[in-house]
């Protein structure tokens, strides 16, 4: 009896493209070829949109307008001169000067469309000296993608997200800072609910926060036109990625005139944002000189953040840009939850000013660039009782000025790409429901009540007095109840103690191995 043929799993568009792109390895660094691939995908998408609009004009009997950019721009379509069209690139794909032709095409697209100013790679292809046959093979693969086939599935957006995550994975630690895992961004969006107003990201990377914000609005029947987007990005190549990523989705955004350091050259000085979503660089050292930014208006009312670590510089930058009812959700390394010096003074004042709303500790291995556990902070400029109408509900917020919600998600999540963790849709639903239940009132027998309840090893609503008694530490495990607390010494408390003891040792200039081992032994570590 003949063996039954097994059906080979069909590769997705994303996987096919990734395999083709990987063939460029060896001649092009991964940090470079992401721009090669993504700019080509952008060019294919822009060309498909252009040809679609061109056919519309022909069907309407407007042939004389086919080369007039206004008739494309009015439909949010980029105008492409002949040398920028994908058909022209494919016709010349196997020519020795194809790299120059691609560079010329990208330059011409940008020149003819002001909205793309500063967005497209400049002279990348000629400079990289790529193997012509490998580049031609990549062009053939991209040529097989019908970017307009299924508008509901957002094929190009899917490819962008897939590639950005894969590049972050491939580049490893110390690189790939431009990408925040999608499930974390989804969690932030579902928690702070950016329905209407101004959204800001001071370290916007490739624009993932903005993309997921728009998807959140669409999923909840909101109005995308009710949102304005502002951001800033320091790295030039990542700034270009963000502009392309937003352009292919038709998302208008003000990312500043140029890529620039948010601290040294704030391009949105007078901005007041209704929602802030960010994943700034962790533990950034020497972010300012000793005599720089000392009296910056962003720190008004607070101590100047220490130059040794930018974490509190990012916090105060965001706090200063919140509107009267503004909410911020951002990721920071766990070290910002405790510690002394200027950071302690700033943290104490943030708490006393009733700005901190929630602290959510995330699992390890969520990021492709670091395996440490990090924290989601929520700041809220209005924790008073109020009623707000949202697209799919009306919510009555209770008075929360004297409380902060702590959540521990270290045991939450599902495996992803073998060694990573991500949040499932159910995980996100549970966390956001807990958070929104804590925020709001329900009417029971004519009286306003909260349905929120503390859950051991998961969540705890602590009062400002509770936090004051813990010397203004924001480490969640100091407040959340752990059933076997004596048997399972908490990691965060251990690390906080270790950090403090290590600082003392460094001050004493004690650098012997015996001294260091004594500290670890005291904390219960066997080394």
Q: What is the 3-state secondary structure (H, E, C) of 204-267?
A: CCCCHHHHHHHHHHHHCCCCHHHEEEEECCCCHHHHHHHHHHHHCCCCCCECCCCCCCCCCCCC
Per-position pLDDT tens, the chain of length 527: 555 444 455 566 667 777 766 666 655 665 666 677 778 888 998 899 899 999 999 999 998 889 898 898 888 888 999 999 999 999 999 998 998 999 999 999 988 888 788 878 777 777 777 778 888 888 888 888 777 765 554 556 666 667 766 766 665 544 445 567 888 999 999 999 998 899 999 999 888 889 888 888 888 888 888 899 999 999 887 888 888 888 877 788 999 999 999 999 999 999 999 999 999 988 888 888 878 888 899 999 999 999 889 999 999 999 999 999 999 999 998 889 988 889 999 999 999 999 999 999 999 888 766 677 789 999 999 998 888 888 777 888 888 999 999 999 998 988 876 778 888 999 999 999 999 999 998 877 777 878 899 999 999 999 999 999 999 999 999 999 887 654 344 555 555 555 554 554 444 444 455 655 665 555 555 55
Q: Could you count the other beta carbons within 10 Å of the beta carbon of residue 476? A: 27
**Residue reference for tokens 């008739």:** 71
Q: Are residues 328 and 368 in the same domain?
A: yes
Q: Domain containing 273 — which CATH number? A: 3.40.50.150
Measure the CA–CA gap between 428 and 408, rounded to whole angstroms: 13
Residue written as tokens 């999923």? Answer: 219
| CATH number for 56 | 1.20.1260.30
Show which of 142, 168, 194 is a domain's final residue: 168
My answer on whether 394 and 499 are in the same domain is no
Number of domains in the chain: 3
Residues 346 and 424 in one domain: yes
Same domain, 122 and 215: no
46 and 103 part of one domain: yes
Asked if residue 164 and residue 185 are part of one domain, the reply reads no
Which H/E stretch holds residue 481? none
Residues 106 and 223 in one domain: no
Domain boundary among 133, 168, 203: 168
Is 197 in the same domain as 54?
no
H or E segment to which residue 379 belongs? strand 374-380
215 belongs to a structural domain: yes
Query: Which is nearest to 331 in space by CA: 279, 277, 378?
Result: 279
Q: What gap in Å lies between CA 518 and CA 41, rounded to an integer?
A: 56
Asked if 320 and 352 count as a contact pair (C-beta separation under 8 A), the reply is no
As a whole number of angstroms, the distance between CA 280 and CA 38 comes to 23
Q: Are residues 24 and 65 in the same domain?
A: yes
Q: Does residue 151 share a domain with residue 61?
A: yes
- 161 and 186 inside one domain: no
**Is residue 7 a part of any domain in this protein?**
no
- Any domain includes 6: no
Please give the model's pTM, rounded to 2 decimal places: 0.80
Q: Yes or no: say if 432 and 190 are a contact pair by the CB < 8 Å rule.
A: yes
**Residue 5, in any domain of the structure:** no
Write the Ramachandran bin of 471: left for phi over 0, alpha for psi from -120 to 50, otherwise beta: left
Report the alpha-carbon distance of residue 207 to residue 414 in Å, rounded.
25
Residues 31 and 115 in one domain: yes
CA 343 vs. chain centroid, Å, equals: 24
Calculate the alpha carbon distances from 318 to 122, 266, 292, 330, 456 in Å: 32, 12, 19, 9, 32
Residue at 80 is within a domain:
yes
Nearest of 84, 75, 94 to residue 47 by alpha carbon: 84
Q: Does 373 reside within a domain? A: yes
Residue 232: inside a domain: yes
- What is the domain range of residue 506? 491-522
* Overall size of the chain counted in residues: 527
Do residues 40 and 102 make contact, with C-beta atoms less than 8 angstroms apart? yes
Last residue of one domain, picked from the residues 138, 168, 198: 168
175 located within any domain: no
* 300 sits in which H/E element: none
């Amino acid at each position: 009896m003949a063996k039954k043929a097994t059906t080979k799993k069909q590769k997705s568009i994303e996987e096919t493209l990734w395999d083709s792109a990987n063939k460029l390895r060896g001649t092009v660094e991964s940090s470079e070829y992401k721009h090669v691939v993504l700019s080509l995908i952008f060019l294919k998408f822009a060309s498909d949109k252009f040809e679609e609009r061109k056919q519309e004009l022909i069907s309407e009997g407007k042939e004389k307008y086919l080369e007039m950019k206004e008739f494309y721009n009015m439909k949010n379509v980029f105008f492409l001169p002949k040398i920028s069209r994908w058909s022209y690139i494919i016709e010349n794909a196997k020519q020795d000067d194809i790299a120059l032709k691609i560079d010329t095409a990208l330059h011409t697209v940008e020149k003819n469309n002001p909205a793309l100013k500063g967005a497209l790679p400049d002279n990348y292809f000629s400079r990289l000296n790529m193997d012509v046959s490998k580049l031609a093979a990549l062009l053939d693969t991209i040529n097989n993608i019908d970017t307009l086939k299924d508008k509901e599935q957002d094929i190009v957006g899917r490819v962008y997200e897939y590639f950005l995550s894969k590049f972050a994975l491939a580049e490893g630690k110390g690189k790939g800072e431009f990408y925040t895992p999608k499930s974390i961004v989804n969690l932030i969006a579902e928690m702070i609910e950016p329905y209407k107003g101004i959204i800001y990201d001071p370290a916007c990377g490739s624009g993932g926060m903005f993309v997921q914000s728009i998807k959140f609005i669409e999923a909840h029947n909101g109005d995308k036109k009710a949102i304005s987007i502002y951001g800033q990005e320091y790295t030039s190549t990542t700034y270009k990625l963000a502009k392309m990523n937003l352009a292919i989705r038709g998302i208008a955004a003000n990312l500043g005139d140029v890529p620039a350091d948010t601290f040294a050259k704030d391009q949105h000085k007078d901005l007041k944002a209704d929602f802030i979503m960010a994943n700034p660089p962790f533990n950034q050292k020497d972010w300012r000189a000793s005599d720089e930014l000392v009296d910056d208006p962003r720190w008004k009312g607070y101590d100047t953040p220490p130059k040794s670590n930018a974490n509190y510089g990012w916090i105060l930058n965001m706090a200063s840009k919140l509107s009267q009812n503004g909410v911020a959700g951002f990721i920071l390394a766990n070290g910002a939850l405790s510690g002394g010096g200027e950071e302690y003074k700033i943290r104490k004042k943030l708490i006393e000013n009733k700005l901190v709303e929630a602290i959510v500790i995330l699992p390890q291995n969520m990021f492709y660039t670091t395996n440490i556990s990090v924290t989601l902070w929520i700041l809220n400029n209005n924790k008073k009782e109020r009623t707000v109408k949202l697209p799919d509900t009306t919510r009555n917020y209770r008075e929360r000025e004297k409380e902060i919600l702590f959540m521990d998600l270290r045991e939450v999540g599902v495996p992803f790409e073998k060694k990573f963790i991500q949040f499932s849709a159910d995980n996100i639903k549970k966390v956001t429901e807990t958070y929104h239940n804590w925020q709001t009132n329900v009417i029971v027998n004519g009286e306003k009540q909260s349905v929120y309840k503390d859950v051991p090893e998961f969540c705890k609503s602590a009062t400002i007095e509770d936090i004051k008694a813990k010397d203004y530490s924001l480490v969640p495990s100091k407040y959340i109840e752990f059933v076997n607390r004596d048997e399972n010494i908490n990691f965060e408390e251990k690390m906080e103690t270790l950090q403090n003891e290590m600082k003392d040792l460094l001050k004493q200039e004690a650098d012997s191995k015996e001294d260091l081992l004594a500290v670890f032994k005291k904390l219960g570590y066997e080394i």
